[in-house]
Structures are given as structure tokens and as C-alpha cells.
Amino acid sequence: MGMRIENRNRELFLHRVFGYRGVIIFPWLARVFDRCDERSSSLPPLTKSTKSSQSNIHEIRAKSVTYYQVLTDTRDMPHIRAQTEAVTFLGNQERDRNLYAIPGLDYVAQEDIVPYTSTERTPIEHELFDKFLIYDSETTPNFVPREYLKSWQERHHQWLELSDVAKDVTHQIRVTVIPFYMGSRSAQGVAVHWWRYSIRVENLNPDEPVTLRERHWRIFSLSGTLETVRGKGVVGQEPRLSKEYPAFQYSSHISLSASSGHMWGTFKMEKDDGTFIEVRIPPFNLEYLMNFSYLIRQKLVVRQFHTSSPRHIHPLIWIILKPALKGAAWLTGRSARKWYRGLPEEKRSIFFQHLNRHKYKYVAIFGTIGSTFGYHYSTHIQIAPITGRKRYMLMTEEQLKYLCDLQKEELAKTYANHMMPENSKETQLVAKVAKKIISANVDLPNVRSIKWTIRVLNIDDQKAFVLPSGDIYVTRGMLQTVANEDQLAIVLGHEISHTLLDHSGENLSYLQLVDFLGIFASLIIWSVFPSDWASFFVTYLFERFLTFANRLPYSRTLEEEADEVGLMLAAKACYDIRESVRFWQKIHELQEKQAIPEFFSTHPASNKRAETLKRKISWALEIRHQCNCLPLIENITLGLPKILEQPLDKKTGLVHHIPVTILICSRLKNIMIEMSSLTQFGESQKGKKRAKLLKMNEFDGSIR
């Protein structure tokens, strides 16, 4: 059941912080990510006992909070320190280059609403007030909406809708950010997406005034660019937050060549005694989220029929059905072959005449089957987290959890006498490294929602794996193989990546798809080949072909993806990611005699993995450097002279191979990169009494 939005429409109010008068016109339900509420001095331990109690890592949970779209009284605008005068958007018209500005609109949280009453028929001076509302003494509040308000809201819904709010508090300074998607325009065939963001800076301890001196922004785009911009003050001002004026609000604009991105940064503020403090600007998404109901209302999507949610086969049912379907395909094909071979020559001629007469019917039947399969495939395509790669996903979270629980039960039975105690030095070592990796990557999808646990198995096998549920297993043999914590971080980063990327569900889904195609091929083979032995032999060869040409290569692809993402996780945790090359070289030496060729393996060859990771070291070290990690000593053995001083090579590494949508380091201080090229809007125009049509090319300036 969804959360109810409190209805306070048409209510007059005073703003709790800025004191202006206004009227509520309609509400929004926003997700508020308050990092101050969720922050703790240290993460809880990652180890878990055999009891049912569970410990979780630091999470940033969204709270649903009601915000209101309001009209502000233009008489109060000159006396407050808030830019509430214009909401801007590009609209739907691709043929023009216009920026629309609607003056006197603001977004106000429930907590900032202070109701008041008035006997005036027009208590708020705003050019849209009389167009939106009409006085009615018999209602409470005394105003009812006109049809114009409803049509106006319908028309501008997409550009006005508020979804996410980010908050953080540093040194008693609260920063609140609300981003809005404005629209897109094409320039020389390339789409440019625009966002507006509103920022409120509030001094929670006004007895100690501060002055905002500098801003420092980091902007990451899905296209792979990471830009930095720094400047004095904001919107041409250096606001002072004191007892008289404890808060300041402003808005600015940003454009990206990609439809998604991320921004975060810091404000440098000066106290009256001359000391400076760094205030965090919380990370927030720049996303283009087209509202489906809006598309329907605008007749951009025509709903001709209703479809249900994708139907998923339970994995255990598929395990039983798979051999049954294979047997059915063999028997059906064999029966069809024997039936045809037993037909007299004249009946075969009649059979082909029948096929020719009804060929369009059979084409329609097989076309319908193919279309159904294509529809099923297209409705089960997902975007992989972190990498943004498209993939076929048949498994649901519930099914994967069910299989994961079965696997945990089996592991508990198998290794019941081999679990090392929670306070053992081996378990504590794994927990220490895992905790550091996870805490440095809480900005990535799924990290916060998974309950991570640690288990060390007292066996000689060199194994490490992580279940989709977040249960991390490492063997004593693996701990004896790694030379240091950095190599252990490489191993754990790789295995954690499998869980974050949901590779288990993806691989099972892909195998089921290949199995289905194999069953269909078996039906054809047993129908066509002349004898049972020939059919059986060809079916066996085709199964081996599917394994070596599809199943194993796909598994190796997932392993390579986990290697690359795992390298990023370890780099953000400030580990020496050059140890990844040494580790896989060592594994290659240990397994050289008994290693099977890569063609027959689910994993890439160890020496190949070492070479692949070596090519990505410069990219990973650049990420490590951006996260403000301590510099590493030059690695002579790998031949990487002064690699930390080299610029990021965008032709290698994740920037080219994996378009990461979010990249936030837990250490953001003193990270500055000169911004080369980024098109921005400047601050909004002030003090307009009516909606204006402003040209895009009139806006120019810096990120405010």
C-alpha cells in the first residue's frame, strides 16, 4: 500500500525559514535521502554468528516526505534570501530553442509550512493566483481550483514533478539539494540533456556565523566523463549565514551529453575567527525518467491492450521440466520421422500439396510462435547495475533467494565442522578487508541493501565465493595463497562484484534460454536424421557445441566483468590494485601443470586475467588517486613508471568498457581537476512578475 499524501491544497501559509507568504496548489511525494540521519561513526561488524540476529552495513534509506508546489507572494520576494522566483524547463518543442520560466514557484517541505488565515479575496499577489484559484466563502480553505489549474498541472506535470531530495549536515551546516529534469535539445545531431537543481544552505547553529566563500563541484556523466569545477561563492554572491539570516537558497543549471549522471561536492565556508570548514554537498542523481502516465496523457503512448507482469517459471519446476522436455522433443521428432518414412509415395505427394495449400497458415503459426518468443525475450531484458549492460534476466529476486537458501543449507551441512570461529584471526582479517571495500563503495547500487556476512572455512581448497544473499565464504587455503591484504581485497572485490552485478541470476537465466533453444534443436534433429543412433550422436555433438560456443564463453565474460568491477571496488577502498597482476601470475604458476585449456573452462586462464588486469592498472590507479588515497611506491616489476602521474586513458578501463553510472569516493577533500568543456546554464533571472519566454542562448556561465 502506498503512502498517503496529506492534502493541504489551497491552504495559505508562511514559510518557517524564509518567512514569505504563499498558497499551496498541489502536493508531491518525494524520497528524501538524509545522510545525516543515517550516518554513524563506524560501521557495525560484518561478521555474523549462527544466531538469527543480523548486522547490516551503513545504509542511506529513503524517507517519503510530502513537499508542496506553492505560489509565493511577489511582495515578499525583495526581503528574503531565497530564489523562488522561477521554475525553468525546455518543454516538448524540439523545433525551437526556448527556455520557459515560470516565476514565483517554490517547493516547500511539510515541516516548513506554517498555516495562517486571511479574509482577503486575493491574499497572495501573484499573476497566476486568480488564474488558478477562485474565492469561495463556503469552503475551507476559502479557495477552489479553476479548470485552468488542472490543465496547467497536466500540461507541465513532467517538468514540475519532484522525486528525490538529498540532505547532509557538516559542522552544523545543512545542505539540501532538489534536482529536476528540464528536457533535451539536439546540437549537431547530439542530444544534450538539461537539469535544474535547487540548493538550500542552512546554519543550524546561527550563534556561530559562517560565510560561503567557495564551491567545488564534481560532475560524472554516463558518457564516461568526470569533470570538476571550482569557483567563488554561489550565483555571484558570498552569503553569510547568521542569526538574522540563517539560510540561503538558490538554483542553477547543468547540461550533459548523456541521459544520466551524478553530482556532488563541497562548500568552503569561513568562520568569523578566520578559520575555514568544508561542508559536504550530498550526492544526487541527474536522471531522465520519462513518466509513463504522462506519456499516456500526452498521447505519446497508445495503450491498445493490457499485459500482465512477466511470468517466471519456478527454477525447481524448470529443473524437472528440462529432462522431460528433452525426452518429449526426442520422442516427438522420432515419431514424426517414422510417420513420414512410413508414408507411401503418393501420400507424401498429398502431404506436400497440403503444405503448399496452407503455407500461409503455417507461416502465421510459426510467426506467432516466434513473435511470442521475441516478446518474452524483450520483456525480460534488464539493465545491469553499475555497468549499464543490457542482459536477459528470467530469474526473479524471490526465486534467486529461494535457490540461495537451499545452497546455504547445503553448505551448512557440508562444512558444519569446518567453520572457523568468529573471533579467529582468519575471520577477523577477512571481515576487516571486506568491511573496508564495502564501506568505500556504499554509493553503488545494491551495496546498501545487502546484509553482508563473513564465514571462513577451515579447508585446504583455494576457494572464495559470495552468495547472492551477501554471504562471503573464504577458505583457509585461499588465505594461505594470498600474499597480503591487497591481494585478498582483489579476491573479495571480484567475488563481491558477482553479487552486486547479480551474475548468478543472469547466468542461470542465460543457461535456461540456451537449454530451451537446445530442446527445440533436438526436435529438429530427431525429425530429420535417418536413424536413432545418428540423431543421438548429432544431438550429443550439438549439446557440446552449445557448451563450448555459448555457455562457457558467457561464463568467462561474466568473470572478466567481475574482474574489472572488482578492481574498481578495491581501488576505491585504497588498496594496491597492482597486486591483482601478481596474484593471478602466482595462481598461473601454481596451476600451470594441472590447468585445463581456457576453451574448456568457465573461467578465463589465469595468465590471460593477469595480462587483462595489467592493461587496466592505469585506469584503476587513476580512480584510486581521485579517491584521495595515499600514493603508492613505483612498481618496478610491472614496468609502470610514475603511473600515478599519467592522465586517465579513456580507451582502456571502465570508462570505455563499463559505463559506470555512479562513481563516488568516500574521500572527497582536496580533489580538483580543471574542467575543460561543459555547457551550463547560469542562474535564474530575478524579480519577474510574469512568465517569460527566455532564449537558451542567453544563458551562459558556470556551475553555481
**What residues does 143 pair with on adjacent strands?**
135
- Helix (H/G/I), strand (E/B), else coil: 123: coil
> In sequence order, what DSSP letters do the residues of 552-574 get, joined into one string?
HHHHHHHHHHHHHHHHHHHHHTT
CB atoms within 10 A of CB 447: 24
Bridge partner list, 654? none
* 450/436 Cα distance (integer angstroms): 15
Going along the chain from its start, the domains and CATH numbers come out as 12-39+61-298+680-698 (2.60.40.1470), 397-503+555-657 (no CATH)
Residue type, position 254, single letter = I
pLDDT for 269 = 96
**Quick check: 605 and 588 in contact, CB under 8 A?**
yes
CB 697 within 8 A of CB 604: no
Give the containing element (helix H, strand E) for 270.
strand 260-271
Sheet holding 453-457, edge to edge: 453-457, 471-475, 464-466
In this structure, the number of other CB atoms found within 10 A of the CB of residue 111 comes to 10
Beta carbons of 265 and 217 less than 8 angstroms apart: yes
Element (H, E) at 15: strand 12-15
Cross-strand partners of 66: 29
- Euclidean distance between the first and the last CA atom of the chain, given in angstroms as a whole number: 40
CB neighbours of residue 653 within 10 Å:
23
Q: Kindly provide the b/e burial profile for residues 566-575, where b requires at least 16 CB atoms within 10 angstroms of the residue's own CB.
A: bbbbbbbbbb
Q: What's the pLDDT score for residue 464?
A: 92
Active-site hit among 85, 495, 561, 683? 495
Give the chain's length: 704
- Specify the pLDDT at position 583: 92
Active site residue 426: no
Q: Answer for the pair 198, 224: CB distance below 8 angstroms, yes or no.
A: no
Check if the beta carbon of residue 185 is closer than 8 Å to that of residue 191.
yes
128-184 confidence digits (pLDDT tens): 888 888 888 888 888 888 888 888 877 777 677 777 899 999 999 999 999 988 877
pLDDT at position 492 is 94
Residue 210 · residue 248 · CB < 8 Å: no
**333-376: per-residue pLDDT in tens?**
889 888 888 888 888 888 888 888 888 988 999 899 889 888 98
> Residues 6 or more apart from 516 whose CB is under 8 A from it?
none
Distance CA 600, CA 370 (A): 32
Query: Residue 127's pLDDT is what?
Result: 87
Q: What is the DSSP letter of 677?
A: -
Q: Cβ distance 45 to 175 under 8 Å? A: no
Low-confidence ranges of the chain (pLDDT < 50): 1-5, 38-59, 85, 93-96, 290-312, 635-664, 666-703
pLDDT of residue 41: 35
Cut 0.85: pTM above it: no
